[in-house]
Chain A
Amino acid sequence: MGSNFAECHPVGFRFVMLAREKGAEVIHVDPRFTRTSACATKYAQIRAGTDIAFLGAIIRHILESEQWRTDPFFQDYVRHYTNAATLIEEDFRDVADLGGLFSGWRQDYYCPDTWQYAGMQRVLNLADRQEEICRLKTTQSWGMHAGRTVGGPPRRDESMQHPRCVLQILRRHFAPYTADEAARICGVPAERIVDIADTLLRNSGRDRTSSVAYAVGWTQHTTGPQMIACSAILQLLLGNIGRPGGGIQPLRGHATIQGSTDIPTLYDLLPGYLHMPTHLPIDVGLDTYVWNEGGATGVWAHTRSYMVSLLKSYYGEHATAENEFGYQWLPRIHRDFSHMPMFVDMHAGRMEGFILMGQNPAVGGPNARFHREALGRLKWLVVRDLFLTESATFWERAPEVQAGEVRPEDIETEVFVLPAASVLEKDGSFTNTHRLIQWHHSAVEPPGEARSDAWFVVHLGRRLKARAAGSAAERDAGLRALTWDYPVHGPLEEPDMDYVLREINGYRWPDDPARREPLETALHLADDGSTACGCWIYCGVHPGTNRAASREPDDYVSPGWGFAWPNNIRLLYNRCSADPSGQPWSPHKKYVWWDERERRWVGADVPDFPPDKPPDAPGDPSLGGLEGFAGDWPFVMKPDGRAWLFFPNGMKDGPMPTHYEPWETPVENPLYAAHGRNPETRIWEVAGNAYHGIGDPRFPFVLTTYRLTEHHTGGGMTRWNSWLAELQPEAFVELSPELAGALKIANGGWVTVVTARGRAPARALVTRRLRPLRVMGREIHQVGMPWHFGYEGLVRGSAANELVALVGEPNVTIHEGKVLTCNLVAGRDGAAERPGAP
């Protein structure tokens, strides 16, 4: 679900096909019948954005099934490894009681006091009121949950029968999600939902596991993270987490989109998922930051070591215990400054300069024209790419310029275009969707003036540091202290990337840059300044040799191929692959287990657990870290060691997934009339970004956007390649023959898709792969449009992002690109003449 696996990750799908041919069921649930559906053993066509209703019905069916309630495997797994038995605060109220809101709603945000484990509280160590932090609305999950949980240990009912235990709350929460109700909402026949639920149940258990794969078909929704959370609940109930063949696979879309989150180019994070400090008193100093950021138990208990080591790698000798290791030089965030709010700022003229490195928002950003207008209000713009992308030429080639609505002479922006080196022309590492870090070696020199992005950043940094060298200004203190002595080589003076990877890996301090003593594991990180580490979760990637460049495969787990963070663990939470007593659940699913003779965890993978903690070790949270973990608490990232079926904190829009309609929807929400859409949705009421109302008669059809196998993202890496361009040469819209007939649209003819944001003329692809759906007694038509096209390159066409709105999900502010409403008009609208057309 939420993924078009075969089309967007064809080589990963290799293993799905192998599994299918070994007898596995392959279930595809998607608004369109795609190449993935064409290979599946079961398919359901779902109304876009209703995934939680669908999953909720499956969860309900499983919870109520005789098999689930009586199979000791499911009961043991859930009792020991999840918080199903934990009791929740008495004051907690579910959405059914409050018309679509959970308890804790404060006008436009939640305060999670009532979502806590019974008898426990979230507290802050300083004067901040929880309310103020909730109101901050950054994309940091502790933006509302800063502090620590005190009290406890959590109260439990091992029989899981107590009305306030998580399992019973969950059962009541999903009670309205009957197969019939889900069928009405999703447009999927009830019997198909039941069949899929039974199939999952049949293929999960002691001897079998099922896996869920998703992609941006889940993330690009105003309920995206809750869809993923819902699949986590499903997989935990079925005992499919931490076991071979199980899990939830986020199929990520760029070569190192995982790496760019781990070692973030994101406003709210520092490397290793440490949060950027805010301007609030909780982050006023290193001590308060660490107290609020880290917990007392679990892996995060060592946050001080991670942070101090990062500061040592940033500021080197300038980071000392006396100056909080340079913590006060860190910039502070004070509001949501992620992609969309940043472009809203830019559009309002509040930004001056912008640097694009391999991203193409002029066609790739939601509401593309808004993005282009924003770029046109900058003073200066740097574009680094392999080809002359739309973001470089927006001032002369954008549709609105070609239509004469905007003149280049009126666009102030100074534009610098710098050619970039390709992957074949530089050393470096990518982190794939499986957390696997792999090194690529430079094969040839980049052509002409093309340089790596590292070259650009290092040489720009050298210039800026040189200018700041003599400055006494307070603002330059951190810049002056920043270590930036990166060695370069060759006539092009390209930086030595192995050196950078060694800095990321970490080394002991004091340091001799010529002979750095590398760290081998994050367990060696210290909080006293005796270690430096650029990203604690990557520690171990370069313990003297570059393990990312290691290429020694075998026929199973291949620990010698690349390096998986953390600690080369290939399957996270793999303690779950053994039963509570430490023995494999079944010989067929043996993976990591307790060896009583060796008194340690052994198996095919690195154990994701303290290696010598016996399965019967008692829990004692007062010991802190992982010391106090019981031997059957597999979830080392969680303070209570158990996976969460109910989220006391971490999610801003509720402790359990709830079906909310998409922001733009043709129908009302039958479950929660008063609050039919996610109450925490991020919206921007700004010019050029008008929204459609619920059931807006002007925009009766559901539109979803997607990728094709033959192109990549906004097309910046494929539309200039003739062998790919010929395979998908034009923008098109997929629609059913029923809709095409009603609107008199011919296959291959022109159709213009219209929203309040823009118009997108494209060719019509009329196909029975899209069927009208029966939703709440009405016929709903869905149409689809790939978003690869633009006004540059060998092949061109309307960008689907002309249609999409700036509207964000509350936890991570990702836009809702996978579902919106639209209208279709036959023909190629004259005013929106497709640029570059023959």
Chain B
Amino acid sequence: MGRSLLRRASATLDRWPVLRQLAGEDPDRAAAASDRTRELRPRTDETRTVASVCPYCAVGCGTAVHVREGRVVDVEGDPRSPINQGTLCPKGADIFQYAVNPNRLTTTLYRAPRGTRWERVSLAWAMERIADRLQDTRDRTWTAADREGRPLRHTTAVGMLGGAALDNEENYLIKKLCVGLGVIGVENQARI
């Protein structure tokens, strides 16, 4: 018992960097490394790497997203990209924090007319209610033709804004749905 404890204590002292430096292992200072130091590895080891694109400006830098167990652990420039060749600007270097951020919205919120606070509601409830609102407004304000009988087939009482920060496929779906609904008020950041 005592021997094993002594052994343990001396083993600990053996690894203690100062003693090893004093013991003459200097100047090979690497010898003073602690276990943690010796085992240090980049946290991107043993991760899955997913090819992505920076969501900020339109230069279109390629990014490498490192994922472990369903969580993003690191985002860097994709060295293969002929555009950025692994580099990024400060915003691109901050993509990790853009996605992994305690300030992000993760729940659906609702504010009633003339309300003074947010209420938490379910996503499904909100979706149903939004569909109600959209259908009601659109049906009530539908204009088939102008006073001279020229076709309009639209409503100007509903609008949508955004798109330059979305995906091409999302923009395609938005415009298609708006054409189907007769909503002509669709705009995005390209206009401002």
A96 within 8 A of B: no
Contacts of A710 in B (CB 8 A): 90-91
Given the complex of chains A and B, what is the CA–CA distance between A14 and B51 in angstroms?
22
Contacts of A706 in B (CB 8 A): none
A263 touches B168 (CB 8 A): yes
B98 touches A386 (CB 8 A): yes
Tell me the nearest residue of chain A to B85, going by C-beta: A14
A475 touches B182 (CB 8 A): yes
A717 touches B175 (CB 8 A): no
Stretch from A288-296, A429-437, A663-671, A732-740 forming part of the interface with B: A429-437
Given the complex of chains A and B, what is the CA–CA distance between A501 and B172 in angstroms?
9
A379 touches B92 (CB 8 A): no
Contacts of A549 in B (CB 8 A): 51
Contacts of A761 in B (CB 8 A): none
- Indicate with 1 or 0, residue by residue over B45-57, a CB within 8 angstroms of chain A CB atoms: 0000011111111
Which of A426, A440, A441, A814 contacts B191, CB < 8 Å?
A814
A364 touches B175 (CB 8 A): no
* Chain A interface extent, by class: 35 or more
Given the complex of chains A and B, what is the CA–CA distance between A342 and B158 in angstroms?
10
B44 within 8 A of A: no
Contacts of A422 in B (CB 8 A): 55, 98-99
A202 within 8 A of B: no
B130 touches A382 (CB 8 A): yes
A561/B158 contact (C-beta < 8 A), A449-B106, A454-B173 known: no
Given the complex of chains A and B, what is the CA–CA distance between A461 and B150 in angstroms?
28
Tell me the nearest residue of chain B to A794, going by C-beta: B103
A817 within 8 A of B: yes
B33 within 8 A of A: no
A386/B151 contact (C-beta < 8 A), A353-B157, A444-B70 known: no
B110 touches A416 (CB 8 A): yes
A717 touches B115 (CB 8 A): no
Distance in angstroms from A814 CB to nearest chain B CB is: 6
A724/B90 contact (C-beta < 8 A), A11-B59, A253-B189, A418-B126 known: yes
A352 touches B135 (CB 8 A): no
How many residues in B have their beta carbons less than 8 Å from beta carbons of A? Answer: 111
A460 touches B127 (CB 8 A): yes
- Indicate with 1 or 0, residue by residue over A271-284, a CB within 8 angstroms of chain B CB atoms: 10000100111001
Given the complex of chains A and B, what is the CA–CA distance between A353 and B60 in angstroms?
33
Given the complex of chains A and B, what is the CA–CA distance between A549 and B53 in angstroms?
10
- Indicate with 1 or 0, residue by residue over A370-412, a CB within 8 angstroms of chain B CB atoms: 0000000001101011111000100110000000000011111
Contacts of B110 in A (CB 8 A): 414-417
A653 within 8 A of B: no
Tell me the nearest residue of chain A to B102, going by C-beta: A720
A464 touches B131 (CB 8 A): yes
A482 within 8 A of B: yes
Distance in angstroms from A397 CB to nearest chain B CB is: 12
B114 touches A12 (CB 8 A): no
B60 touches A424 (CB 8 A): no
Given the complex of chains A and B, what is the CA–CA distance between A392 and B92 in angstroms?
26
B171 touches A443 (CB 8 A): no
What are the 3 closest A-B residue pairs judged by CB atoms, nearest first? A448-B106, A432-B60, A428-B167
Task: Show 19 A/B contacts (Cβ-Cβ < 8 Å), sorted by A.
Answer: A255-B53, A263-B171, A265-B163, A284-B151, A332-B153, A353-B158, A355-B130, A413-B111, A424-B52, A430-B60, A432-B83, A433-B60, A443-B65, A451-B123, A453-B167, A467-B135, A473-B139, A538-B168, A710-B91
**Apart from the given pairs A279-B150, A352-B137, A384-B162, 10 other A-B contacts in the complex at a CB distance below 8 Å:** A338-B187, A359-B162, A366-B192, A388-B109, A410-B114, A426-B167, A460-B127, A478-B182, A486-B173, A500-B169
